Copies of this chain bind each other. A is one copy, B any other.
Amino acid sequence: MHSMPADLLSAVVTILAILLYFYMSVRVGQMRHKHGVKAPAMTGHPEFERAFRVHYNTLESLVVFLPLLWLSTIYFTPAFYTLAWLPAALGLAWIVGRILYMTGYMADPDKRGTGFGIASLAELLLLILAIAGIVRFSMAITV
């Protein structure tokens, strides 16, 4: 796997993140059915509401995770090529965090903290990589 270019690794991570997200949305539909919460209602049973919030909170996060993953892949890895695996590794950490968030939240909303923290930390590190890559590219041009 270490011989794979960074963009392919990030493509694989993107697919895995989307699969997890699909699974979460299917769970919302199952909970809607199980507890008889008729569309368009978004409330009605705690278990449905938790599944709904897991899905939506992951949606909130996905829309910045994917741009950060790809900005890191495009701008960080060419400049720091010995660390080319790092964006994809942080992407995997985000996915693991989101799985823990899901299982924790479904068990008890108060147990959503650990997974949320791991995923948020992964996002923050991807943000730092993206900024480092953009700064490095900018310096290469203006110098």
* Chain A interfacial positions (CB closer than 8 Å to B): 3-5, 8, 11-12, 14-15, 18-19, 21-22, 25, 38-43, 46, 49-50, 52-53, 55-56, 59-60, 62-64, 66-68, 71, 74-75, 105, 109, 112, 127, 130-131, 134, 137-138, 141-142
Contact = CB atoms under 8 A, between A and B. Distances in A.
Nearest to A25: B60
Q: How many copies does the complex hold?
A: 3
A11 B42 CA distance: 34
B75 A40 contact: no
Contact of A38 (B15, B38, B109, B142): B109
Given A11-B130, A40-B105, 10 more contacts: A3-B142, A11-B134, A14-B67, A15-B134, A18-B64, A18-B68, A21-B63, A42-B42, A56-B60, A59-B60
B63 A59 contact: yes
7 contacts: A3-B141, A21-B63, A21-B64, A38-B109, A40-B109, A59-B63, A62-B63
Q: Which of A39, A53, A66 is most buried by chain B, counting CB atoms within 10 A of its CB?
A: A39
A89 to B, nearest CB: 17
Where chain A touches its partner, the secondary structure class is: helix
A134 B39 contact: no
A34 B100 CA distance: 26
Contacts of A59: 59-60, 63
B67 A53 contact: no
